[in-house]
Amino acid sequence: MNILINGLTIEEGNIVPLLQKIKFWQKQENTIVIVGNEKLKREIGKLRIINSNYTFIKVQNTKNIKTKQDLIFEGLKRNIKILRTARGCGNFNVVYTISSVLDLIIFPFFLKRANKKIKWVTVFDNTVPLNDPGNKIIRFLAWTFFHISLVLLKKADCIFVISEDLKRYLIKKGFDKEKIILTGNAVEADLIKKARKSQKYNHDALFVGRINETKGIYDMLRVLKVVKKKYPNFQLAIMGRGDDLTEEKYKNEIKRKNLEKNVKFLGYKTGLEKFNIFRSSKCFLFLSESESFGIALLEAVCCGLPAFAYNLSPYKHIYKNNEVIISKKHDYKSVAEKVIQLFENKNFENKKGKLLINKYSWDKIAKIELSSLRALVS
């Protein structure tokens, strides 16, 4: 098969999952063409997950996305540019998107309209509630664009979902259930097994993810404020990035709460270094308000970290044997009490969590998806 992969506005957190799938597809002798900008090209080279047997079509003159507004307008610009040069993408019979956000599916939607023989497949990995925290105007725009994406998405030939909840959501929205295939999610098992504790990193608690209000970043500070009373030198490390305005606001709140000495920003990390940091932390905080799966939480659990999270619906299907320490949503005091109890007992190993590592494989997911692609084009 000839597979065109749209990476025009792919988020950092989706790059590794995409490359893990491509790695498997390359072994099955499929032709891979990736559309993206120079930044994506550099990241692919840096990660060294896939071999060089692919074609990269670079979208010229793209700007860095620093804010949510940038994502909206820069994303639209990139789509217009690639639509103008779509003929340069070569011959392909499948166009694939790693996510179903509007800025990633405009291009395949119009390709599909122009050539009905092309099969469009995508991953549906998230919903956008209107009542999530954050700037109300931005949230409304995000919610609006999400619902526009749902309209376009109905033209897709196949939709892979990462959870039962998302499958039920799409069926409720009127999608053809025959087009929806549950794949689940995965972790980089090989790297997790290779990871070792590092003297460079020695954190009491770790958070990995976007610096975004929906990720419960302010509840983490509330937890930290309570824990600090018992352990004044308690250290929380944050691995990830956010847009400039959100990061600035968050750092001001850290300063206002007098927590500057207790919070360390590590930036965005990948590869073995990322999992060495996991291994070098005593516990994991993941207080998201909503999640479709929560891959960072699964990574932490598979690394053997005691992990604290709120009681979200998807977790019921993943953590069936108390692999995660659960509290009611927004009950940060309960989380803080459980963290203090963990440090009093000094039991920093999640034996049950480690057992999940062999259940979630990217090769398994790539195989399921490839089988569906072959069925579409046969």
Which pLDDT score is estimated for 82? 78
Which pLDDT score is estimated for 77? 78
Closest by Cα among 183, 142, 136 to 159: 183
Which pLDDT score is estimated for 115? 87
Closest by Cα among 181, 98, 106, 179 to 149: 106
Which pLDDT score is estimated for 64? 72
- Give every CB contact of residue 94 below 8 A, 6+ residues apart in sequence: 1, 2, 3, 4, 118, 119, 120, 121, 373, 376, 377
Domain architecture of the chain: domains with CATH: 2-186+361-377 (3.40.50.2000), 189-358 (3.40.50.2000)
Over residues 249-305, the pLDDT tens digits come to 999 999 999 999 999 999 999 999 999 999 999 999 999 999 999 999 999 999 999
Helix (H, G, I), strand (E, B) or coil at 352: helix
Which pLDDT score is estimated for 188? 94
Intervals of the chain under pLDDT 70: 65-72, 85-90
CB of 127 closer than 8 Å to CB of 153: no
